[in-house]
Amino acid sequence: MKKLAKGRLWFLLAAVLMLLFAAACSSGEEEASGTEDTSGGDSSGEASGGEEGGISGDLEIQYFVGGYGDSWWKEVIADFKEEYPEVNVIEHAGPNINEEMRSRWVSGDPPDVVYIDGAGSSETQMVEDGQLMNLTEWAQEIELENGDKLVDNFIVPPSDYEGEIYSLPLVFDAWGTWYDRAWFEEAGYEVPTDFESFMSSMQEIKEAEGIEPFVTSGQHPYYFLRGMLYPAFGAAGGDELLASLITGEEGAWSSDVVLETMQKVEQMASEGMIDSGLGSLNHTQSQMNFLLHDNAFIPVGFWLPNEMEADVPESFGEYGFIPSPMQDAGEPYAVVPDMRPLAIAENAENPEAAKAFVDFVFTRDYAMLFSEHTGAIMNVSGVDLTQNENVPAYLTEANAMINDPEQVQLYHKPHPMSADLETPIGNALLSLMLGNMTAEEFVEEAEAAAAQYRGN
């Protein structure tokens, strides 16, 4: 991958320059990080092994707090500190943590462990920039609590970067389309099973309710890309098409199959199905509009009910979830899992403690706990959610649907799209959704963005 190779070279050059600079400095002063030590204890910053070779020292963990909340993280980290009392865990967490920690990643002083999720994060970008440790060999050693090899028990395997592994997929999310099941049943609205019925259902709702039925976040157009277009591309061209689009392969974005898919989006826009005000909406505002029945459909991941729990109006009935209905009639729903991974920094100061934490997290017990805390699924197989009363009904139903090959076909990305490509694609997509661009103009813009990405 040309982009990946060039990123590694820049990273190595930066590392050499930093070493030369450090050698020239005589003060030895350290710049304060401005982060909070949440656990107390030794703050010497020394890495790994204690006097008897155990795991010790500071361990910095960065995790994004969004729709899944942080209660699962708090419980797991507390358990880890009990298991490894000589480790001083320093948490960097919050809804803006990716932006807050950016300067440390750029300067080569990152935290040891990072959960890659939320706005401002890009796994592929971090790999291309040489920021993540290669876990290919070590990942083969990790075992679940019963001795099963972790790599053999992922629901979806790790991202593949030319045969190398730089992260382990922690969260299995399935973007889909949400609706108010109680409202639909009461009003007799059709739950879509394909694109044709999707359009007819939206037309019926538009006429009856006087609303634009579909909403998404215009401030984050990748919601539509991941939630609606990836399933459409998977259904139309399978894993091969997804891979060619995500890597920006020449001719992929301007292919006939992509144009046909984008003409569906153009049809949604031209017939007034998409909220005309979405350009100003962030993801929580679009979700609130959905809950208020200002719209009837929204593409979001499993975090939706948990994130909006405190804001659900009395008028909202019951969450209903279907894989996004962009496929043609007669075809099964398509789902493209969207993973949120754990990774270790290439420049981790305490790599042994970092590995101990990542190993500690991946158990089936914590997978069950994750579903209880978040209403989502951890990426470990063999966890029976149906027997747990604390897991929400929509999740057990969605999980059963996703695992039924007669209803749903799973498609897989090789790895997430780089932000360098996703950003211009998203900008063009927003113009298309707002009716300011045709499908033909979109594929031209997207192909140009891919060419620019390949040339970087």
Q: What is the pLDDT along the chain (456 residues), one digit of tens a residue?
A: 545 444 443 433 344 333 333 333 433 333 333 334 333 333 333 344 443 458 999 999 999 999 999 999 999 999 999 999 999 999 999 999 999 999 999 999 999 999 999 988 999 999 999 999 999 999 999 999 999 999 999 999 999 999 999 999 999 988 999 999 999 999 999 999 999 999 999 999 999 999 999 999 999 999 999 999 999 999 999 999 999 999 999 999 999 999 999 999 999 999 999 999 999 999 999 999 999 999 999 999 999 999 999 999 999 999 999 999 999 999 999 999 989 999 999 999 999 999 999 999 999 999 999 999 998 999 999 998 888 888 988 888 888 888 889 999 999 999 999 999 999 999 999 999 999 999 999 999 999 999 999 997
- Residue where a domain stops, chosen among 348, 364, 395: 395
- 413 inside domain: no
Question: Cβ atoms within 10 A of the Cβ of 163, count?
Answer: 6
The pLDDT of residue 122: 92
Residue 8 in tokens: 């590694």
My answer on whether 210 and 269 are in the same domain is yes
Q: Which of 409, 376, 404, 369 is nearest to 392 (CA)?
A: 376
My answer on whether 365 and 430 are in the same domain is no
Please give the angle made by the CA atoms of 282, 391 and 155, to the nearest 5 degrees.
Answer: 80
- 404 inside domain: no
- 403 inside domain: no
My answer on whether 69 and 207 are in the same domain is no
- 407 inside domain: no
- 409 inside domain: no
My answer on whether 255 and 357 are in the same domain is no
Q: Which domain holds residue 15?
A: 2-170+340-395
My answer on whether 385 and 433 are in the same domain is no
Question: Cβ atoms within 10 A of the Cβ of 68, count?
Answer: 26
Q: How far apart are CA 282 and CA 223, in angstroms?
A: 10
The pLDDT of residue 400: 87
My answer on whether 206 and 304 are in the same domain is yes
Number of domains, the chain:
2
The pLDDT of residue 53: 52
- 238 inside domain: yes
**CATH code of 28's domain:** 3.40.190.10
My answer on whether 269 and 131 are in the same domain is no
Q: How far apart are CA 82 and CA 269, in angstroms?
A: 54
My answer on whether 196 and 213 are in the same domain is yes
My answer on whether 304 and 423 are in the same domain is yes
- 253 inside domain: yes
My answer on whether 89 and 151 are in the same domain is yes
Q: Quick check: 61 and 77 in contact, CB under 8 A?
A: yes
My answer on whether 332 and 344 are in the same domain is no
Task: Give this prediction's pTM.
Answer: 0.80
My answer on whether 22 and 165 are in the same domain is yes
- 268 inside domain: yes
